[in-house]
Structure 1
């Protein structure tokens, strides 16, 4: 029994190093990812969850070479794990940013550019339409078990991208390219409503030119507001499909970034 419980100093140092670095990767992902990184979730809860997950994945880790806790090598290793976790979370942040950007564009066309509220996640003023789309996206994310899929990718990353390895430069270029994908999906989500609102504004301009005595503000604003809500209602299915496609592409990118 005593022999079974005996650990050498090197084994103990390796275990502590693995626990610290795995905790760093998981905590960085939880802070950077949407839903987990919301300001409404206390930092103590996120740190506790990261510590519990790190202890759970500890038996699955390959052997980790021990490092001095205050050495330069440990600083580099911690920085690498922070980058790995932040990259995984940032990809999903851009997925939800596409919904927020599309909602803001639609809100401007509807005349609701100044109708904003405080986003409890980020603590900033956001248009109500954008916040509504983000809430819908969050519910879809939970319904699709996206939070569980993210955890699975994170746990598997300790096998596909072991602690202490290198970090390919291609990962950073892929993140930059993912930004353009986010912009294109945001445009496609907002395009039907923005196109209809543009045609409505053009028609009101023609009416104003033909009948200058008409009070266009009394007629135009309610019409664009109603048209915007009608377009949102009629295209919610397409928005759902576009968000699901974007989320699937995001998880594929996360799997590639984490060596899957």
Structure 2
């Protein structure tokens, strides 16, 4: 059996380019990039997906992987995968910021735990992160993410062209949407806690002998947990809407 250099290069490119895009997506996307998911598992999963999708793709450009053009294509595939995963990561970051804002308003800003993503966040943020992860799995968001990544090979074929400057600016502008939804999730509890703070201030002025530190902190924490419980039913439509916007932005990146 005799194989030419062009044939070996074509076979290597047909597998390597999808592997880079899928691997970068798994590296940046939530749930897949958690510390509990080891690098070996991510690499194996990316390898399986690349082996499945490689025979279904159009013929990739015959480019030497170690050439400048091959390096450009590799960078583009990594950028596409990172942007797809990073947009979804910002959805979970919005809920983490909302939990941090609520924790500060109820006096739990000092209580921190290590979340599954590896960051040091308040315990309320960890609770919101766990709830959002369960909602994401219940909505089959992980399946939609993998499907969107595999569809990107049809709408954005492997080549030198990929992510543009307009796409990068869209990602930067998406940050304002993340902060807006974080405020939307945290606003009911924060507004209610502000009223409680004002009421505790009035009580302190009316009864100066009352130890506000012994009474106020437990009351604030208790009311904060009650407000979180009451606001949980509104979390599902807000999270679903934000998730739909994120998938719409990712579809815009890949040309769908």
Q: TM over 0.5: same fold?
A: yes
In 2, Cα distance between equivalents of 1:244 and 1:65: 39
Regions of 4+ moved over 4 Å: 6-9
| Among candidates 131, 145, 156, match of residue 136 of structure 1 | 131
| Among candidates 50, 53, 58, match of residue 57 of structure 1 | 53
Q: What is residue 152 of structure 1 aligned with on the other side?
A: 147
Question: Which moves more between the two structures, 6-15 or 180-189?
Answer: 6-15
| Among candidates 25, 29, 36, match of residue 32 of structure 2 | 36
Q: What is residue 126 of structure 1 aligned with on the other side?
A: 121
Q: Report the TM-score, using the length of structure 1 for normalisation.
A: 0.94
Q: SS state of the match for residue 220, structure 1? A: helix
Q: Report the TM-score, using the length of structure 2 for normalisation.
A: 0.96
| Among candidates 229, 234, 238, match of residue 230 of structure 2 | 234
CA RMSD of the aligned region, Å?
A: 1.4
User: Using a 3 Å threshold, how does the CA distance of structure 1 residues 31 and 221 change in structure 2: closer, same or farther?
Assistant: same
1:93-132 to structure 2, matched below 5 A, reads: 93-122=89-118, 124-132=119-127
1:9 deviates by: 4.6
Q: What is residue 74 of structure 2 aligned with on the other side?
A: 78
Note the residue ranges of structure 1 that are not aligned, 5 or more in a row: none
Is the 2:17–2:77 Cα contact (8 Å) retained in structure 1? yes
Is the 2:72–2:160 Cα contact (8 Å) retained in structure 1? no
Q: SS state of the match for residue 235, structure 1? A: helix
In 1, Cα distance between equivalents of 2:32 and 2:120: 20
Q: What is residue 256 of structure 1 aligned with on the other side?
A: 252
Give the length in aligned residue pairs.
Answer: 255
In 1, Cα distance between equivalents of 2:154 and 2:177: 28
In 2, Cα distance between equivalents of 1:24 and 1:210: 66
Is the 1:91–1:250 Cα contact (8 Å) retained in structure 2? yes
1:127 deviates by: 0.5
1:227 deviates by: 1.1
1:178-197 to structure 2, matched below 5 A, reads: 178-197=174-193
Q: SS state of the match for residue 108, structure 2? A: coil
Is the 1:18–1:163 Cα contact (8 Å) retained in structure 2? no
